[in-house]
Chains A and B, each alone.
Chain A
């Protein structure tokens, strides 16, 4: 789960991180009120989950009421890479002389967290990592101990941060690491961490992604989660409890188990079709879940055919077949052709039970995928 900038800054400020004064606004009037109470100049920043907001016109500086009104009018309601901007953060503009990067993430290869500092802040850190990896100082942290203070210092000195602010930057990194750990973050970063002419350090941006699997013990953060605003189908998938990713093609895909569903997508592509989605219905195949999954793919206008590939595993194929039959009973006629393939325990019994009048039944995964590609208009 990704926090919005304003949410992450609330969490940062609570932990004592230096952040600029700011307020959330949903209308031009609210922007003007906020700007007046904070004092010009202010930055007006779109609150949507997309990278590169600045370049896309989602961040503007305002030095007067007129400029603030103009910024609010242009940003509120704008479409930013497919997301409509409904809220902006109005924030005290920081007069900076230098920009740094600090971040904490899990190094999955090493199996432990890594804290990072770079003197090249304010730009896309992934391109810094690729073009000049030596510009980022990295410090791996023993997850059993947490970050020692000397490690924060070492990262800051290794990154070549100015001596005047080194101690404050190390303290920001320590706070960031503790937040990362306490709040079960997968990533926490500040880019840029601004240095002012008076040698003050200020977190001008805030990124915090929380481990979905840990939300059960972060109830206040879980409450900040909002329905996915970008895509109605993704919101629906969330409601049904499916793992779902929408793609651009026209062959709808339903299956169980992430690896097998990914493989089904790959096979659609291999046989010349284009996958419309990834949909993992998880273990078992109760009629209700099957019906919900069909509802998902049927309500995607891009879908022309559906391949339903289930590997029974512990769940028996005959039970799965009964689930599918009862789920399709509610349709007089299926709105889109559905190809089904069952495998695993009692798969043969299952295939015999399946309602072959309404469904295309195929024996193999490869056969089912080829049939669905055909039904969707053939290889592209």
Chain B
């Protein structure tokens, strides 16, 4: 069992004829993902890695019976690509693109709320169910199959924590990178609710970081709604106020909102052990299991 994606997920890659799109479509297929089509306006009729390219996402999804799309198009066109995917038959959109203007994402978020689809990202590494499918740019070889769900705002931090888990023999059901932007589709609460409903997921790791109040809301959700135990990690304890730490969303405002302390405290109050180091996160997961 898993959440969002599995071996039956049929994937359209938006932007498959671009450098990034072509490379990562190949990597996804090599991992075993069922990539069934590409979608690029004006390039319909071509083939990439033996997969047919269509002019539109709807065309690709209808012809190839696809149910998910991965957005690998440049930031200036990415919001439009997400709108197109939301307006097609696919149920899941995974947006990898970094640098989409925040106001564009605000409009996307509004549209998303009018559908019952899932959007993961943008500015994220994607979603992987080890041994079955990866939708995105995560390095498949560090993951292993198991009973731990993982949700994270950061790419390479996810890899670090997964590396620690895999080293201990703690495999994963599904790992979801939700992205480091101020406005994203799937947030912590959405991802946690998916894991809570998944019988195969016996513990969840949640990696947050400074900025916003998503972690605090997640803590409230865990406290009130979850039976599955959660282990936490928060990056940015040493970040100064007012400075953007790489991610557009990772900023502690002048009034002190979004600090690591506030998030660690909220999680602690919800009974979530928060590790001081990635190694300690793996210790905590072992204990919870």
Contact = CB atoms under 8 A, between A and B. Distances in A.
Interface of A: 51, 106, 108-109, 111-113, 126, 129-130, 142-144, 181, 184, 186, 211-214, 216-217, 243, 245, 247, 255-263, 265-270, 275, 278, 280, 311-314, 343-345, 364-366
A260 B154 contact: yes
Contact of A343 (B103, B107, B138, B159): B159
8 contacts: A214-B102, A245-B243, A257-B154, A259-B180, A260-B156, A262-B238, A262-B239, A263-B235
Interface string B248-279: 11100111000010000000000000001111
B156 A257 contact: yes
B99 interface: yes
A111 B110 contact: yes
Contact of B154 (A214, A258, A275): A258
Given A143-B107, A213-B102, A344-B139, A258 B250 contact: yes
B220 interface: no
Contacts of B278: 263, 365-366
Nearest to B250: A258
Interface stretch (B1-9, B11-19, B53-61, B205-213): B205-213
Interface centre among A130, A255, A262 (most CB of B within 10 A): A262
Given A108-B183, A126-B254, A266 B101 contact: no
B157 interface: yes
A106 B237 CA distance: 24
Given A262-B250, A343-B160, A184 B101 contact: yes
B67 interface: no
A269 B237 contact: yes
B10 interface: no
Contacts of B240: 245, 247
A366 B254 contact: no
B255 A126 contact: yes
B110 A266 contact: no
Contact of A314 (B105, B137, B245): B137
Given A216-B75, A217-B76, A260-B159, 6 more contacts: A112-B109, A186-B102, A262-B209, A311-B156, A313-B139, A364-B279
Interface centre among A263, A313, A364 (most CB of B within 10 A): A263
A261 B277 CA distance: 13
A167 to B, nearest CB: 28
B23 to A, nearest CB: 8
Contacts of A313: 125, 137-139, 155-156, 159
Contact of B277 (A108, A126, A270, A314): A270
B247 A258 contact: yes
Contacts of B214: 109
Main SS at interface, chain A: mixed
Given A126-B254, A269-B237, A111 B139 contact: no
B238 A269 contact: yes
Contacts of A311: 156, 159-160, 163
Contacts of A111: 105-106, 109-110, 183
Contacts of A265: 236, 238-239
Nearest to B209: A259
Given A247-B240, A259-B235, A262-B236, A106 B102 contact: yes
B279 A259 contact: no
A257 B156 CA distance: 5
Contacts of A267: 277
B139 A259 contact: no
Given A262-B246, A314-B139, A366-B279, A257 B107 contact: no
Contacts of B103: 106, 113, 143, 181, 184, 211, 214
B110 A144 contact: yes
Closest 3 CB pairs of A and B: A259-B154, A258-B246, A257-B156
A239 B4 CA distance: 40
Contacts of B109: 111-112
Contacts of B157: 257, 259-260, 262-263
A184 B141 CA distance: 40
Contact of B155 (A51, A109, A257, A278): A257
A257 B179 CA distance: 11
A217 B90 CA distance: 30
Nearest to B213: A109
A213 B250 contact: no
Interface centre among B24, B141, B237, B279 (most CB of A within 10 A): B237
B27 interface: yes
Contacts of B111: 144
A259 B210 CA distance: 9
Contacts of A258: 154, 180, 209, 245-247, 250
A126 B254 CA distance: 8
A343 B233 CA distance: 19
